[in-house]
Every structure is written in structure tokens, then in C-alpha cells.
């Protein structure tokens, strides 16, 4: 039983982009897998508020420069 759970977990981890043979479109990953990967990315790269503020100021001045 434990081996089956491990194999299924590995299959979910290894899953790459899959296409539907019927429609030719991409089959989206499960919502649970998406949430896990999104949470992992959020924990790896916390937002930097100071950097965000700097980006806003650069965009502000750039827009004024280009407008004039």
C-alpha cells in the first residue's frame, strides 16, 4: 500500500504538460497541484515592498518623461 502511494506521488511530481488527443489542447494540472506549487513559490520569494515602491517611482517618472 505504501509503495502505491509513493508511486502515485512521484507520478504527480513528474507530470509535465499533457495534451488531449481528442481536442489537441493542454490538459490543466489539478487544482491541488497548482496550489501546492503556488504556495511553494510564494514561500521561496517573499515580496519586497521597498523594491515594489522603487519600481512604481521609476514607472511614474518614465511616464512623465515620455509624455513630455
What length does the chain have?
Answer: 68
* Domain extents in the chain: 2-67
DSSP string of the chain?
-HHHHHHHHHHHHH---EE-TTT-PEEPPPHHHHHHHHHHHHHHS---HHHHHHHHHHHHHHHHHHH-
Which of residues 20 and 58 earns the better pLDDT score?
Answer: 58
What's the whole-model pTM score? 0.31
Whether the pLDDT of residue 56 is over 70: the answer is yes
Whether the pLDDT of residue 26 is over 60: the answer is yes
Amino acid at each position: 500500500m505504501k509503495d502505491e502511494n509513493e508511486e502515485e506521488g512521484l507520478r504527480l511530481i513528474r507530470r509535465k504538460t499533457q495534451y488531449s488527443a481528442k481536442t489537441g489542447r493542454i490538459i490543466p494540472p489539478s487544482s491541488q497541484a497548482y496550489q501546492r506549487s503556488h504556495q511553494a513559490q510564494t514561500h521561496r520569494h517573499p515580496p519586497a515592498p521597498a523594491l515594489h515602491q522603487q519600481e512604481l517611482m521609476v514607472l511614474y517618472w518614465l511616464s512623465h518623461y515620455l509624455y513630455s
